[in-house]
Amino acid sequence: MPAFLLYLVHTLFPPDTRQPTELGADFMILVTGIGIVYILTRYKKWRWLWREWLTTVDHKRIAILYLIAAIAMLFRGGVDALMLRTNLALPNVQPIGALEYNEVFTTHGTIMIFFMAMPFIFALFNAVIPLQIGSRDVAFPRLNAMSYWLFAFGAMLFNISFVVGGSPNAGWTGYPPLTELAFNPGPGESYYFLSLLIAGIGTTITGINFLVTIIRMRAPGMTLMRMPMFAWSTLVTSALIIFAFPPLTVALALSLLDRTFGSSFFTLGHGGMPMMYVNLFWLFGHPEVYIVILPAFGIFSEVVPTFSKKRLFGYTTMVISLVSIMFLAYGTWVHHFFTMGAGPTVNAFFGLSTMLIAIPTGVKIFNWIFTMWGGRIRITVAMLYQMAFIPTFVVGGATGIMLSVVPADYQLHNSYWVVAHFHNVLIGGTVFGLLSGLYYWWPKMFGFILNERQGKVGFWLFVIGFWVTFLPQYLLGLEGMTRRMYTYPFGFGWHELNVISTLGAFTMGAGFIALVYNILWSLRYGERDLTGDPWNGRTLEWALPSPAPEYNFARIPVVHGVDEFWAMKEQGMTLANQLRPQDVKALELPKNTGMPFMLGLSFFVGGFGMVFEWWPIAIFGGLGVVACLIYAAFDYDDKEPLPADVIRHTEGTFGRLQA
Amino acid sequence: MSEHTSDGTELEAVEPGLEFLAPKFEVEGFPWAQVMGYVFSLLLTFAALLLVVDHAMPPILLLAVILALALGQAGLQLGVFMHLRESRGTAWQLLPLGLAFFIAFALVGTSIWIMLFKTGVS
Ligand code: HEM
Ligand SMILES: [Cu+2]
């Protein structure tokens, strides 16, 4: 037995998971874990947790689950970022060594894209889309819960790699041969492939779910061209997801086969083609950057009209540019590996297509500006993020165009210039957009308003921190500093710029703390949103109480144009003053189920077994997956009646029923 | 949730002349088509695997044969599992399906074009 235990300890906790940072993480996980268990037991909340949250199929609750995960991952990814920046602050000063540095930048990138940005986006999709299009739910509520739990357990599998077995260390792109077993033994890269595969299934399902929801579940009268712009961006994003994730799945699965079963799709020897992985990865990867930016575009297209008190300028051109971005996004992926040297024709083609995509993007920027032009602008936190977004994103786009010039890219590729570019668009675009949406829709999700003054403090810290961090990185790129270096010597002139950049990074960290403080403070003291319409909004979600009741709409509204709620308000109407008791009909709601959670858990167990190649565990998990699917297929009892009286009562307590 | 009757069909008036858009759903019963479809898709998969593992033919021929098997597989999946025949009318399917094929072939085609560089270099 002791020999067995020794083996176990050695496999699960090899030396590189026994360093100070890892032990610190172990300690924190243990303390929070015990704390959570204690609180749940002490206040007898286990049943509540299971019944209200872990088994929920309500899109509004799933939204909150996604949001919690996203903010937790923003924290973890952010701590990673600060570790990276600390290591680079001064020449030759390295709190963490080369190997650990590789691990930290890998987890930073992977977490920020797949486990922060994606769930944050899905949080807002779930919170807003059904309300905005006048629907009672998404098209497939159970699949929606499945998506969440696959994502959540995928994320968990990825996160435990840090303390159990060792983190992946080949970058968020996971290129071979860096991930090849011969050069990278240990469980790290297998964690990467498996967790992304599992979470990827969830993401694909979400794409399908929201595509169908928007196509099929709109309120009567809401034609496609009357949809709120956020719904449009969700539609286009979903379509991108459906086509972008399969190449990633293939690339990851084949790499996993290479590692685990000795095939040679992407290996250096035996006729493998490592560059084919790169091709497949970016076939996904470029659409992915649009998957994370288009929702932000959608958010701004809601925020700007509301806080400018004006209709969105150029609705039709907005739609056209969204759709053309969708198509063009598939035609540019080679710009991530121009230096592979596919030849002048290929590179020229993809350089041009990359430049082309800036045109529809520019159109959108002008439309937002023209919407603000002559509007009555209210400077709220949501609007501030939008106003910071425009210049930031323009710089990010312009530096992207410079990268799309092939000869320039040969110089800039893999330098800090690229790092600065993609943070410019990812933070200045996606993150600013998500934070704007967070402040904007928070009252709708939780029923209280985040404190604006504290929000503004967080905003300035975050935006100033952003520029201080990333402007110097453009200069570092021009001075030849390459990305993914863990340290650098004196005498290259990189010293000052790196110090500045690190200071900026800590300023952004302070911005994050301000955000969390704001959330906790507002939870207690924040102004409650009693009207359901705190911003004088224009779209249907603001016609409902905050938070919306579980059935959303007591009666599905009929839509007559863009900005339906605004039109209603102009005629002195609300959803409430049209609702008479006899209009309320009994409904069926989807019933809670533990299946999605168990499915995610099974994937987690199976994935963990595969990471360590402990086949009995892997097979056990796999059987669990099959069992859950069979159960799901034959579970016909998936609806619950909601009597009209209950709805009348609920609407009555909101004061939304005519006597 | 609201517009469905208990047996899952949809109550929708079909305008004259547009009958081809009317919903078509498979009748209930034992899903033989699906079971056989599943068996056949496994057969097609393992056939491809075995051919490749055994190097059963010269490479070019092998490629052609597994491509043919793949096309058969795709047709099977679309026909049996993707509800291609069971729907609100085939007309609604053709446009997105065409689009999907276009994107898929464009991606595969350009990938081949991009990766051809190897022959030029090595
Ligand atoms: C006008 C629009 C854009 C253009 C022309 C553009 C162009 C480029 C080019 C040419 C590269 C490759 C640089 C290299 O590796 O040598 C690149 C990298 C990158 N871009 Fe953009 N881009 C644009 C917008 C965006 C947006 C909106 C996002 C995300 C929100 C984004 C995210 C990224 C990322 C993550 C990378 C680097 C990935 C890596 O190598 O790890 N870009 N961009
Ligand atoms: Cu790209």
Give the per-residue pLDDT at B2.
39
Tell me the nearest-neighbour CA distance from B89 into chain A, angstroms: 15
Q: Are A319 and A250 in contact (CB under 8 A)?
A: no
Task: Find the CATH number of the domain harbouring A204.
Answer: 1.20.210.10
Atom from ligand 1 closest to the CA of residue A430:
30
Mean pLDDT, rounded, for A21-31:
82
Give the per-residue pLDDT at B105. 85
Phi, psi of B10 (to 5 degrees): -115, 140
Give pLDDT, residue A15: 78
- In the predicted model, what is the mean pLDDT of chain A? 92
Identify the band that residue B14 occupies on the pLDDT scale cut at 50, 70 and 90.
low
Is the domain of B101 the same as that of B87?
Answer: no
**Chain B nearest CA to A135, separation (Å):** 10
* Inter-chain CB proximity A243 and B103 less than 8 Å: yes
Residue A220 lies in a domain: yes
Check if the beta carbon of residue A402 is closer than 8 Å to that of residue A335. no
Residues B21 and B74 in one domain: yes
Q: Tell me the average pLDDT across A398-412.
A: 94
pLDDT at B122: 39
- Mean pLDDT score, B48-55: 90
Nearest CB neighbour to A137, from listed B1, B111, B115: B1
Is the CB–ligand 1 distance for residue A121 below 6 Å? Answer: no
**A350 in Cβ contact with A405 (< 8 Å):** no
Full domain range(s) for residue B44 = 1-91
pLDDT value of position B18: 65
Mean pLDDT, range A237-248, rounded to an integer: 93
At residue A371, does pLDDT exceed 80? yes
- Name the residue with tokens 């529809």: A360
pLDDT, position B9: 44
Q: What percent of chain B has pLDDT over 90?
A: 20
Quick one: pLDDT at residue B3?
Answer: 41
Percent of chain B with pLDDT over 70: 66
Does residue A605 belong to any structural domain of this protein?
no
Cα–Cα distance list, A201 to A154, A596, A605, A607, A641 (Å) = 10, 13, 16, 13, 31
Paired residues of A589 in beta bridges: A640
Ligand 2 center to residue A289 CA distance, Å?
Answer: 7
Is residue A293 in contact with ligand 1, taking CB distance under 6 Å?
yes
The predicted model gives A214-240 an average pLDDT of: 94
Nearest ligand for residue A357 CA:
1
Cα separation, A130 vs A134, in Å, equals 6
Q: Which of A260-269, A396-405, B16-25 has the highest mean pLDDT?
A: A396-405
Residue-level pLDDT at B6: 40
CA–CA separation, A138 and A134 (whole Å): 11
Q: Are residues B37 and B61 in the same domain?
A: yes
Comparing CB atoms, the residue among A243, A279, A585 nearest residue B115 is: A279
**Number of the ligand closest to the Cα of A412:** 1
CB-CB neighbors (< 8 A) of B118 in chain A: 273, 275
Q: What is the pLDDT of residue A115?
A: 96
Under the banding of pLDDT at 50, 70 and 90, the label for residue A39 is confident
Q: How many other β-carbons are positioned within 10 Å of the β-carbon of residue A214?
A: 26
What is the C-alpha to C-alpha distance for residues A331 and A286, in angstroms, rounded to an integer?
A: 9
Q: How confident is residue B27, by pLDDT bands cut at 50, 70 and 90?
A: low
Q: What are the residues facing B10 on neighbouring strands?
A: B4
- Say yes or no: B73 and B115 in one domain: no
* Pair A403, A420: CB distance under 8 Å: no
* Structure token digits, residue A279: 């091709």
User: Is the same domain home to B24 and B53?
Assistant: yes
Q: How confident is the model at residue A196 (pLDDT cuts 50, 70, 90)?
A: very high
Q: At A421, which amino acid appears?
A: H
Residue A179, SS3 per DSSP: coil
The count of residues in chain A is 659
What is the total count of domains within chain A?
A: 1
* Per-residue pLDDT at B1: 38
A609-626 per-position pLDDT tens digit: 999 999 999 999 999 999
Task: Give the number of the ligand closest to the Cα of residue A350.
Answer: 1
Residue type, A479: E
What pLDDT is recorded for position A659? 64
Enumerate the residues of chain A whose CB falls inside 8 A of the CB of residue B10: none
Once rounded to an integer, what is the mean pLDDT over residues A252-267?
Answer: 93
Q: Kindly determine whether residue A330 and residue B107, on different chains, have CB atoms separated by under 8 Å.
A: yes
> Which residues share a beta bridge with A641?
A588
What is the average pLDDT across A450-474?
96
**Could you read off the pLDDT of A151-190 as tens digits, one per residue?**
999 999 999 998 888 899 999 999 998 999 999 988 999 9
Using an 8 Å Cβ cutoff, are A467 and A393 in contact?
A: no
Residue B12 predicted with pLDDT over 60: no
Radius of gyration of chain B (CA): 20
Residue range of the domain that includes A376: 12-593+638-653
pLDDT in tens, A546-575: 899 999 998 899 999 899 999 998 888 888
- B86 and B103 assigned to the same domain: no
Q: Is the pLDDT of residue B4 over 50?
A: no
Judgement on whether residues B85 and B113 belong to the same structural domain of the protein = no
Residues B33 and B56 in one domain: yes
CB contact under 8 A, A341 and B117: yes
Are residues B44 and B55 located together in one domain of the fold? yes
Radius of gyration of chain A (CA): 25
Stretch among A635-649, B43-57, B105-119 having the lowest mean pLDDT: B105-119
Residue B24 in this model has a pLDDT that exceeds 70: no
Judge whether residue A16 has pLDDT over 80: no
**Which residue's alpha carbon is nearest to atom 34 within ligand 1?**
A422
Q: Report the pLDDT averaged over residues A76-88.
A: 95
Does residue B73 share a domain with residue B18? yes
B114 and A556 within 8 Å at the Cβ level: the answer is no
pLDDT band at A255 (very low <50, low <70, confident <90, very high): very high
**Does A425 contact ligand 1 (Cβ within 6 A)?**
yes
Residue B64: which pLDDT band, with cuts at 50, 70 and 90? very high
User: Which one-letter amino acid corresponds to residue A439?
Assistant: Y
How many domains does chain B fold into? 2
Measured in Å, residue A428 CA sits from the centre of ligand 1 at 13
Does residue B63 belong to the interface with chain A, where contact is any CB pair within 8 Å?
no
The whole-angstrom separation of Cα A75 and Cα A73 is 5
Task: Tell me: pLDDT of A372 over 50.
Answer: yes
- Residue pair A275/A337 in contact by the 8 Å Cβ criterion: yes
| ipTM score for this prediction | 0.80
What digits encode the pLDDT tens for the residues A303-324? 999 999 999 999 999 999 999 9
For residue B61, the surrounding DSSP H or E stretch is: helix B59-76
Measuring CA to CA, which residue among A128, A109, A137, A124 is closest to residue A196? Answer: A109
* CA triple A382-A384-A389, angle to 5 deg: 100
Residues within 5 A (CB) of ion ligand 2: A 286
Per-residue pLDDT band at B118 (split at 50, 70, 90): low
pLDDT, residue A352, reads 93
In a domain, A387, yes or no: yes
For ligand 1, whether the C-beta of A487 sits within 6 Å is no
Q: CA-CA distance, A502 to A472, in Å (whole number)? A: 10
